[in-house]
Structure 1
Amino acid sequence: MSHVCFVQHAVSGCADDCLDELVQKFWETEEVAVATPKLSPEEEDALQAVKTSLSYTNERYKVGIPWKLDPEILPDNYEMALKRLKDTEKKLSKNDTILAAYEDVIAKYLEKNYIRKVPEEDISKSKWYLPHFPVVNMDRSTTKVRLVFDASAKCSGISLNDVIHQGPKMQNDLFEILLRFRRYPVGLICDVAEMYLQIEIAECDRPYFRFLWRSNDQVKPPVVYEFSRVVFGINCSPFLAQYITQEHAKLHETDLTMASTTVVKSTYMDDSIDSVQTDIDALQLYNQLMNLWGAAAGMHARKWLSNSKNVLNEIPAEDRLQEISILTDELPSVKTLGLVWCAEADEFNFGCSSKQIAHSDKEILSQRNC
């Protein structure tokens, strides 16, 4: 509305017949145009490697790692990984709660077949061990402790990431996603649970994604585990996830048109954030996204939130954002794409800590004194 008022004020002395032309020029000036970056030869190599290796079996995608160099040049890094394990154990021993959460994550990885214990006879075939450490975020509503695998850790001057193509950046432009989210009155957001871990990696690549763990029992030797899925912390993981999800969406652009468009244009990593005209449209988009991510890709969309309680009332409680109580509470705020969306007011906010404010004030005073 402010744009319209601005234009009317600017042309207050113009004849009526030029108003349409001025408004058209105004919106043409405001039009967003984002050029598609040209891929480098290295990025083209990574893209071609993934296209060639990608397959779909047992309702799940499998992909080969886009190697930049022959991974056989990697040295034996067992001692480095063992040293890093001891460092992690020392940190975990200081907090029983975080240690228990760490062990629980590994147990669930085993239960879900994301990893396997490597048999004794296969341990000698290990190619690389990933050091790992915890990242704790008590503000999260789901997983408080995340295991991060350090693929940048070097042994004899080389790391796992050094021999893997990072791949081109395929994330959608944040500004364009936010514009799409503000187009229509009914907003709908969700994220995909453990997106990377729903994508298998080729069997021949798995010996390069092993790690050591012994439940903080430093008396016994570490157990060797091996990933069968894309690992958080590998430089190519964002590229692999984005390429596969976008290709998957394009395959369903006819039968799941709304969901396909949302994934291709309004999804950033594992967050889908879009808007539609009506509650009926929102429920259709919800059902299509559940189908698109679900049986067809082996993924699960969760933590749904909308500014429409009618829409949320049709979504199972276990799939909604945990803070939602339809009957008694106002709709919550949720952090998405680096901003805080207040669903009740349908507004974006951002905040900063008192330390950040103090630091900013000091910078301003410093600039004024110069």
Structure 2
Amino acid sequence: MKDLLSERYAERVPQEEIVGTNGGINYIPHHGVYHPKKPDKLRVVFDCSARFKGQCLNQYLLQGPNLTNTLIGVLCRFRHEPVAFMCDIKAMFHQFSVNPEHRDFLRFLWWENGDLQSDPVEYRMRVHLFGATSSPGCANFGLKQSAIDHEKEYGSDVGDFIRHNFYVDDGLKSVATEDEAAHLINRSKLLCQRVGLKLHKFTSNSTKVMGTLPPEEHSKGVKDLNVMYNSSNIERALGVYWCVESDTFQFRISLQDKPLTRRGTFPCKLGLRPIRVFSSRCVSRETNTSGDVQ
């Protein structure tokens, strides 16, 4: 919460505006969420679906068109070429402002300076927030429009990268050479800075590319370039694991023990029809003209 206020993502409601200027005021409950893979990071999520007298903020917000690139498409394009890199837009939703006349619908209560013994104070968000139906559409539109507006200045390859190779705030790209990657990253950072966005948390399978970036912009998993290529350097790439050393995708599967029965092997709850198993291993699932499993 202190970060929200210091970064001016949120503001204290002035005393003279407590009663509201246009009669429209909404208070949003909030809670902290930890990601299992990021135990040291606490994200504040505002519950815009919370109902009061049968109504909630999200039912009045327009979702807009789905402007998010397909996850599979971004991942496939990510490994077209030999030199790959990933990056992230810092606090993407919070970089896009909400019109002042709409901010009273994003009010919340919090204790000043985190003092739980004091009375809660009224604050309001100045930017789009996590939990609102409209936030993904607004942020995606703003990002793509930024690429369109400044493509001529920074290059068509930069515009193409930002428009087609981002999945929400995660950018994944591959190019033919290390010099091309470094040049693309530099111009992409400049374009984003132009519109108030910051690219950071860079990871690449090239030590030369990583050497062109300041250490504070490296992904947390890449702390020392001298030991970058080791078996423990595995980065998450849109839900799959990218082993930088071998430049391969990996999957971690957790198998649950189930009884050795047809129900345990082929769960009916998944809509799968039990089949007759002829051996301990099913080498194929082809069907002949009689309908029997081979």
Same structural fold, with TM-score higher than 0.5 when normalized by the shorter chain = yes
2:10–2:125: 8 Å Cα contact kept in structure 1?
yes
Q: Which amino acid in 2 is paired with 1:195?
A: M
* Change in CA separation of 1:280 and 1:205 when aligned onto 2, cut-off 3 Å: same
Matched residue type, 1:328: V
Tell me how far apart the structure 2 counterparts of residues 363 and 303 of structure 1 sit (CA, whole Å): 42
* Residue 128 (1) aligns with residue 23 (2): no
- In the alignment, which residue of structure 2 is the partner of 1:148? 45
Aligned counterparts of 2:117 and 2:220: Cα–Cα separation in 1: 41
Q: Residues 161 and 359 (structure 1 numbering): CA distance in 2 closer, same or farther, change over 3 Å? A: farther
CA distance in 1, matches of 2:119, 2:248: 54
Structure 2: how far apart are the matches of 1:329 and 1:206? 45
One of 236, 254, 257 as aligned partner of 1:353: 254
What's the CA shift for 1:358? Answer: 3.3
Counterpart of 1:286 in structure 2 is 185
Matches of 1:244 and 1:360 in 2, distance apart? 52
Distance apart, 1:175 and its partner CA: 2.0
Matched, 1:117 2:15: no
C-alpha distance in 2 between matches for 1:330 and 1:303: 17
Residue in structure 1 matched with residue 158 of structure 2 by the alignment? 259
TM-aligned CA distance change 1:172 to 1:120, over 3 Å: same
Whether 1:207 and 2:104 are equivalent positions in the alignment is yes
Gap change, CA 1:144 and 1:343, over 3 Å in 2: same
Q: Which residue of structure 1 lines up, in the alignment, with residue 82 of structure 2?
A: 185
Matching residue's letter, 2:99: A
Give the corresponding residue for 2:200: 302
User: For this pair of structures, how many residues does the alignment match?
Assistant: 261
Specify the code of the residue in structure 2 equivalent to 1:315: L
Q: TM-score scaled by structure 2?
A: 0.83
SS at match of 1:144: strand
**Letter aligned with residue 19 of structure 2:** S
Matched, 1:227 2:128: no
Q: Provide the residue aligned with 2:174 in structure 1.
A: 275
**Contiguous gaps of at least 5 residues in structure 1:** 1-105
The amino acid that maps onto 1:244 is G
- 2:109–2:121: 8 Å Cα contact kept in structure 1? yes
Q: Which has the higher helix share?
A: 1
Given that residues 148 and 159 in structure 2 are in contact (C-alpha distance below 8 angstroms), is that contact kept between their aligned partners in structure 1? yes
Q: Residue deviations 1:74-118, cap 9 Å, x none?
A: xxxxxxxxxxxxxxxxxxxxxxxxxxxxxxxx1111111111111
Matches of 2:258 and 2:140, distance apart in 1: 36
Matched AA of 1:152: S
The one-letter code sitting in structure 2 at the alignment partner of 1:110 is: L
What letter is aligned with 2:187?
Q
SS at 2:45 equivalent: strand
User: What do the CA deviations read for 1:310-344 (whole angstroms, capped 9, x no partner)?
Assistant: 11111111101122111134252111211111111
Give the secondary structure class of the aligned counterpart of 1:252. Answer: helix
Alignment match, 2:145: 247
With over 3 angstroms needed to count, the CA separation of the structure-2 counterparts of 1:222 and 1:340, relative to structure 1, is same
Aligned AA (1:302): H
Q: Is the 8 A contact 1:138 1:144 kept in 2?
A: no
Give the CA deviation at 1:369.
8.6
Structure 1 residue 124 displacement after superposition: 1.3
Runs of at least 4 residues off by over 3 Å: 215-219, 357-363, 365-370
Quick check: 2:221–2:235 contact (8 Å CA) kept in 1? no
1:122 offset after TM fit, Å? Answer: 1.4
Secondary structure of residue in 2 paired with 1:253: helix
Q: Note the 1:155-194 alignment, pairs <5 A.
A: 155-194=52-91
Structure 2 Cα separation of the partners of residues 170 and 329 of structure 1: 35
The structure-2 alpha-carbon separation of the partners of 1:148 and 1:285, relative to structure 1 and needing over 3 Å to count, comes to: same
What does the per-residue CA deviation read over 1:25-61, in whole Å, with 9 as the maximum and x for residues that have no partner? xxxxxxxxxxxxxxxxxxxxxxxxxxxxxxxxxxxxx
Asked if 2 retains the 8 angstrom alpha-carbon contact of 1:185 and 1:277, the reply is yes
User: What amino acid does structure 2 have at the position aligned with 1:130?
Assistant: I
2:209 is the alignment partner of 1:314: no
Cα contact 1:192–1:299 (8 A) shared by 2: yes
Does residue 338 of structure 1 match 2:233? no
Structure 2 portions without partners, runs of 5+: 269-273, 277-294
